Every structure is written in structure tokens, then in C-alpha cells.
Amino acid sequence: MKQHSGSVLFGKWFIPAILLVFSSALYAASEEEKLIQRISPAGSVCMIGDACAGSAPVAYAGGASGPNDPEQIYNTYCVACHGSGANNSPIMGDAAAWAPRLDKGMDTLYQNAINGFNNGAMPAKGLCMACSDEAVQATVDYILSALD
């Protein structure tokens, strides 16, 4: 009978066993990485003052850094309603439609444009949240200039 020494069996099975354990560990690690990738958040939220994705801190978009050109603001934010009459809004240039609003005074007209009016039919700042109050007032003046 042939006797096997312990070192022969150890040598014969040790390397394959180590390879099996190592490959199983690698497989498990790659599967874990795939799982982590699948359940990771799709995006992130940047708050004012945060550095987002390594970029410079995000600053508040309001005030002086918002759009200031009344014609641009009108064409971007106001024309959808004040160009079509949507939500019963007065159309730019329609003096009869603007008369009742002008009768309330410019301060009221400005405040309604800035703060919104009629349960959101006229949204605050016409949804131009980056516009300053002064820019909204200048845009109101631009719209009213078509009445002259």
C-alpha cells in the first residue's frame, strides 16, 4: 500500500482551496459593490452655502444677481399669461383690461406683482424667484409702457 504523506495532500488541496476562498471573496465583494451602487441615491441636494460636487459654494440666486432687464423678464416669465389673457390676466397693451388695476394705484399693482394675487392666478413675482422686487417693478412699468 502506498502511503500518502500529509504534505502531499496538503499541497494537492491547499492551493485549490485557497483559490476557491479567494475567488469567492472577490465575487462577494463585487456583488456587494453592485448592490451599493444600485441602492445609492440618484442625486444630491445642494443647500445655500454648500459646495456641490466639488464646485464653488452655491449662492442665493435672488437680489441683484437675478435678471434685471424688464423686457427679458417679461418675455421669460410674464408673456405666457399677459400675452394670451390666461387666468383672466390683462394682456399687455389692453388699456381697458388694465384700467381697473391702475385705479387701485401703482403701489397695489407693484405689491400684487411681487407678492402674488388672486389665490395664485397671479403668482408671486410671476414665478421669477431670482428677480428682485425692483426688477419686478421695472417689469410692471415695462408692461404698462405699452399702454402709452
- 11-45 pLDDT per residue, tens: 566 666 666 666 666 666 677 787 787 787 776 67
- Find all residues with CB under 8 Å of 51, minimum gap 6, and list them: 57
Q: What is the pLDDT of residue 58?
A: 45
Q: How far apart are CA 69 and CA 23, in angstroms?
A: 65
- Find all residues with CB under 8 Å of 84, minimum gap 6, and list them: 91
Q: Which residue has the cell 479567494?
A: 22
This prediction has a pTM of 0.57
Q: Which residue has the cell 488541496?
A: 13
Q: How far apart are CA 122 and CA 32, in angstroms?
A: 52
Is 3.10.580.10 the CATH number for 63-145? no
Cell of 137: 417693478
Average pLDDT, the chain: 79
Contact 140, 102 (CB under 8 A): no
Q: Which residue has the cell 426688477?
A: 135
pLDDT tens-digit map of 59-94: 444 444 578 899 999 999 999 999 999 989 999 999
Identify the three-state secondary structure at position 83.
coil
